[in-house]
Amino acid sequence: MDYSSLILLVLAGLGIVSGNSTVTIAMVVLLLLRVTSFHSAFPWLERYGLTIGIIILTIGVMTPLASGKISINQVMESFLHWKSLLAIGIGILVAYLGGRGVTLMSGQPIIVTGLLIGTVIGVAFFKGVPVGPLIAAGLLSLLIGRS
Mean pLDDT, consecutive 10-residue stretches, the chain (147 aa), reads 84 80 87 87 87 86 90 86 86 84 77 76 77 72 72
DSSP-derived secondary structure letter, 81: S
Phi-psi region of 40 (alpha: psi -120 to 50; beta: other; left: phi over 0): alpha
Identify whether the C-beta of residue 104 lies closer than 8 Å to the C-beta of residue 140.
yes
pLDDT at position 32 is 92
Would you say 100 and 74 are in contact if contact means Cβ atoms under 8 Å apart?
no
Task: Give pLDDT, residue 30.
Answer: 92
